[in-house]
Structure 1
Amino acid sequence: MIRVFLVDDHEIVRRGLADVIDQSSDMEVVGESATVRHALGRIEALVPDVAILDVRLPDGSGVDLCRDIRSRIPNVACLMLTAHDDDAATYASVLAGAAGYALKSVDTPSLLEAIRAVRNGRVLLSADAVASAASRMRETSLADPRLGSLGLRERQVLLHIADGLTNRQIGEHLGLAEKTVKNYVSSLLTKLGMQSRTQAAIFQLSGGERRRPDGAPESRSDPPS
């Protein structure tokens, strides 16, 4: 079962989300909160698989809460939920380590699929959100010396993370065990000074032209190595 924690200051929204999630056979709501102050402690105690966070909360920001969760409990995937499509909030969410970003107008099947996706380690951002975040990160990531610190396998894994693949899918592409891929992901995040796959994916995409691990340019249409 996928264990989900809800953070939203509107009770009717939480009730609606809980009803939808609890009706699914593979997930359940294990807790909820209306404020940042009460949320973090409860999430630390319950350690859900996914935390669904409202971007705007009465006593603070869901983005800041996401950053605290990812720092203290990195195994919890954060899915940001908001009523407004906001480029600034999307960018801030990426930097905070959110695994995905969705509007409250999302339909039920899409929401459930989003929860499953981020729980499985996928980066779940719209093409527009990725383009916007990548554009804002471009100046700092082009020719970034941190890329030179990555080994061959780490660079291959980074390319596949940018393509939205899970650890299992990356392992299938590279002929590696899922646990080995997880170790490479942890290593490359440490070397890049990042906390989440989302940040790494945007960092890779913001470089503009993709390159194969041997340094040669790679077309978007090329199959992953």
Structure 2
Amino acid sequence: MGLPLDAAVGRERAPGSVRVFVVDSHELVREGLRDFLEGEGLEVVGECWSAAEASRRIVEAGADVVVLDGPLPDGTGIEVCRYVRSVDSDLQCLMMTSYVDDEVLRSVVLAGAAGYVLRQVRGHHLARAIRRAATGESLLGTEVVERARAWFVNATADPGFGSLTGAEREVLARIGKGLSDRQISEALGLAETRVRGLVSTLLVKLGFGGGSGPAVGRPTDALP
């Protein structure tokens, strides 16, 4: 899936411009976001509906920020975010959601995203969030990130997650430390494709993938 980790990222553009890629399973949502963002002076460099296509095209497009739905027909926004940020750590992601609770916040931290945007957010707040993310600013409070990461670390020793394998627990513990898939691959001496497979399995077992648990950004929600 996607590009090799040493893929070149082209970002030659006018000073101050922000390039945005939109990933959502609904065409009308993508079109609505494109029209709005371009009206706000942001450059939309691409859009798509699937995890596989997103993983291939986002880095090729030289995007600065990805506005990303959670559930996708062939995967999750979490997996896409973790993958593209392993290829290009300067690329930032914002997850779309219709509500916020601890599980949603864990999803955002698990993805390695800069933050989240509510689907009902006012337009100028969305544009401002994208511009803030493009500078590398985290839109999540330190306490939120630390609490979510502590949850991942504690889950590795929780008997309630007894179905986790040893390798999955190793990966989860490092996710709790904020490592990317590439960093986990290097730390554990595993192929990155293997790490991504373990992450995909973890998402399902922990309730973040495969339709389990509250998804980040449900497809039926209204446009912002």
Number of the residue aligned with 1:63? 78
Kept in 1: contact 2:105–2:148 (CA 8 A): no
Query: Superposed, which structure 2 residues align to 1:151-166 within 5 Å?
Result: none
Q: Greater relative contact order: 1 or 2 (C-alpha under 8 angstroms, separation 6 or more)?
A: 2
Which residue type is aligned with residue 120 of structure 2? S
Query: Are 1:113 and 2:128 counterparts?
Result: yes
Structure with a larger share of its residues in helix: 1
Counterparts of 1:136 and 1:43 in 2: how far apart (Å)?
27
Unaligned runs of 5+ in 1: 142-191, 196-225
Of 80, 94, 100, 1:85 maps to 100
Q: Shift in Å at residue 74 of structure 1?
A: 1.3
In 1, Cα distance between equivalents of 2:72 and 2:57 = 16
Shift of 1:81: 0.8
RMSD, matched Cα:
2.3
Query: Which residue pairs with 1:14 in the alignment?
Result: 30
Structure 1 segments, 4+ long, off by >4 Å, are 130-133, 138-141
Q: Give the alignment partner of residue 179 of structure 2, picking from 177, 194, 218.
A: 194
> Which TM-score applies when normalising by structure 1?
0.57
- Kept after mapping to 2: 8 A contact 1:77/1:99: yes
Residue 30 of structure 1 is matched in structure 2 by 45
Q: Distance in 2 between matches of 1:139 and 1:12?
A: 36
* TM-score (ref. length: structure 2): 0.57
Question: Match of 2:61?
Answer: 46
Instruction: Specify every segment of 5 or more residues in structure 2 that has no aligned partner in the other structure, as ranges.
Output: 1-16, 154-176, 181-224
Contact 1:36-1:59 within 8 A present in 2 as well: yes
Instruction: Tell which structure's C-alpha radius of gyration is larger.
Output: 1
d(CA) in 2 for partners of 1:140 and 1:53? Answer: 22
Residue by residue over 1:187-215, the C-alpha shift from the partner in whole angstroms, topping out at 9 and shown as x without a partner, is: xxxxx7634xxxxxxxxxxxxxxxxxxxx
Change (3 A) 1:74 1:105: same
3-state DSSP class of the match of 2:43? strand
**Aligned with 1:29: secondary structure?**
strand
2-side partners of 1:22 and 1:140: how far apart?
38
Displacement of 1:139 in angstroms is 7.5
CA, structure 1 residues 37+110, in 2 after alignment: closer, same or farther (shift >3 Å)?
same
Q: Percentage identity across aligned positions?
A: 40
Select between 2-11 and 86-95 the one with higher mean Cα deviation: 86-95
Aligned-pair distance for 1:75?
1.7
Look up the match of 2:87: 72
How far the C-alpha of 1:106 sits from its partner, in A, is 0.7
Amino acid corresponding to residue 114 of structure 1 in structure 2: A
Deviations 1:73-104 (A, max 9, x none): 21211111122324223213213210111111
